[in-house]
A and B are shown apart, each in its own frame.
Chain A
């Protein structure tokens, strides 16, 4: 049935085959003509059509009408302009899509530029900082620098040292907890600007197990919180507060890396 329909369509196309082969723009018409090109019936049809078309050209046109057709087409295609093309819905849609994709790509590249080993964990800990309440920590009032001994003696955490920049600040409380990857995190709450300090294992090479170091201080941001992170002896330290880089900068000696 389908074959029959196809043959019927092909027959219909052949009956409408253009006299001038330059008009074979349509793919289905091209296919139909190429299949029938050698048949006597089609050859007769084409020579008949050409003869009639040649005769049509000889039909005299009155001079006053002919002068209208000097050298101009009556159906002139509309002029192509950039403005017109820009208004084309397809071009508009593609342009918007390209802009969005480019925007996302630029955003991702910029995000990656600020990444460093442990930045993902640092961002998660900023979320923890935002949701932590003082009652969740054990009350400890001392200098932050002295808590290294507590972490080592009580929890067996080596090198969980508070850097000298923050060592002299008074603490309100502290705790040690495990994140979802069972890494042990030390959290210290300071009286100074309700700042929170975090100590957590530095990121390691998955194959060799070696610590992935990075020099100096790096900043991370998450949900209105800012963190300044540094790595020492396989442990990352992060000072976090609600605000931005400028609020943290005065506490950090040396320039940002």
Chain B
């Protein structure tokens, strides 16, 4: 979400500290994903002051059969930076989806999106990421 591990760590600890406080006062919400929702808002708050990505029309390519091989050449940090560079709510959608911890209904709930929106953000994200991959790590046969 943030593309910066120190910021992410700060958000994580703030979220847990706040949760511990609420637990001490018996004020923990009954909703099961409140901690993730809280963390998400803290992430969005944390980089509010930073430079925001300009809404650019990124190139889009169809997801290619060799995409997996291209992705394997990446460093994890490169992926983190790419996802954190997306504007919200697409960033939230991509981050939650590729964490592979939630089903789509839970993501819709957490990110406060409709199915059509989540679908569009994911499909567009894949195509943009594929275009970026093609630019950074062109596969044999990729122009």
Contact = CB atoms under 8 A, between A and B. Distances in A.
Interface in A20-72: 20, 23, 25-26, 29, 40-41, 43-45, 47-56, 58-60, 62, 64-65, 68
B12 interface: yes
Interface string B80-94: 100000000000000
Nearest to B118: A16
Contact of B119 (A12, A52, A75): A12
A75 B100 contact: no
13 contacts: A13-B104, A15-B122, A18-B104, A26-B104, A26-B105, A43-B65, A44-B63, A48-B126, A53-B100, A56-B76, A56-B98, A59-B80, A68-B12
A9 interface: yes
A74 interface: yes
B67 to A, nearest CB: 4
B135 interface: no
Contacts, number: 106
B67 A48 contact: yes
Given A29-B104, A51-B71, A75 B79 contact: no
Interface in A49-103: 49-56, 58-60, 62, 64-65, 68, 74-75, 77-78
Contacts of A12: 115-116, 118-119
Contacts of B100: 18-20, 53, 56
A59 B79 contact: yes
A74 to B, nearest CB: 6
Given A19-B97, A26-B105, A44-B63, 14 more contacts: A8-B116, A11-B119, A15-B122, A18-B103, A19-B100, A40-B65, A41-B62, A45-B126, A52-B79, A56-B79, A59-B79, A68-B16, A77-B32, A78-B32
Nearest to A17: B104
* SS of A interface (majority): helix
Interface residues of A, number: 40
Contact of A16 (B65, B119, B129): B119
A26 B119 contact: no
A210 B43 CA distance: 90
B23 interface: no
Nearest to A25: B103
A231 to B, nearest CB: 67
A190 to B, nearest CB: 72
B33 interface: yes
Contacts of A44: 62-65, 67
Interface string A119-146: 0000000000000000000000000000
